[in-house]
Amino acid sequence: MTKLSVNINKVATIRNARGANNPDVMQVALDCELFGADGITVHPRPDERHIRYQDVRDLRQQITTEFNIEGNPIDKYTELVLEVRPTQVTLVPDSHDQLTSNHGWNTKEHKNYLTEIISRFRADGIRTSIFVDADVEMVRYAKECGADRVELYTEPYASGYAADREAAIRPFVEAATEARRLGLGLNAGHDLSLENLHYYHQNIPWTDEVSIGHAIVCDALYMGLKATIEKYKMCL
């Protein structure tokens, strides 16, 4: 069964806008678990504009489902991951001032760098996933880097879904099929929503995990958090 990991970055963004602790990021994470989420995802950035490094430490003490920490493995991030030891680390090639993730790793070009980073995490028993575009070659080199999983960057699928969903899903099926052939676990994330998630899962049912944040928070404004998580779970 494909797991749903809820990315709570946007909850932290709302909290930080007023400088206090409302909404309570910890309570939202615990409620997501209570309402059926299989995991919690956070993506701390160097400027801590949403999830703060201390949030990550605090969440690790309370979360009982899988904990996934996304980010670019700069020294500060790597030290945090090795301190906290989450279930999974997802390596994302973000620049320090990037608004949101918008591409995957070139795993061929950065093979040596990624291999070194991954070996450090795996030595501590942390499952590693590399954020990649839906490109068969990038999936193959992710395997050579020693990753346990790849996470397919799904924004191109989401943006092309309305015009031609069959064409939009095609490269993702190809990349996902290659990952399965290589024995890699498979995650997916970015701009998945109630509109497009079911079709994605229908075509790639061996997906291990989807990580969704922005769409869940937007839908929860109208439907409430519990009902929203239940609807996303139904898509899977």
Rounded CA separation 63/5 (Å):
12
Catalytic pick among 43, 50, 178, 209:
43
Which residues contact residue 169 at a Cβ distance below 8 angstroms, ignoring those fewer than 6 apart? 157, 199, 200, 203, 204
Q: How far apart are CA 137 and CA 126, in angstroms?
A: 25
**Residue 68 β-bridge partners:** 41, 88
User: Which position among 33, 151, 178, 190 bears the catalytic label?
Assistant: 190
Cβ-proximal residues to 191 (8 Å cutoff; 6+ apart), any chain: 154, 155, 157, 158, 159, 214, 215
Residue 50 annotated in active site:
no
CA atoms of 59 and 30, how far apart (whole Å): 9
What residues pair up with 212 in beta bridges, in sequence order? 6
d(CA 141, CA 135): 10
Alpha helix stretches (DSSP H) within the chain: 9-18, 25-34, 53-62, 75-84, 111-123, 136-144, 155-160, 165-182, 197-203, 214-223, 225-235
Active-site residue identified among 33, 50, 66, 70: 70
CB-side exposure of 197: number of CA atoms within 13 Å?
25
Q: Is 201 a catalytic residue?
A: no
Residues labelled catalytic: 43, 70, 190
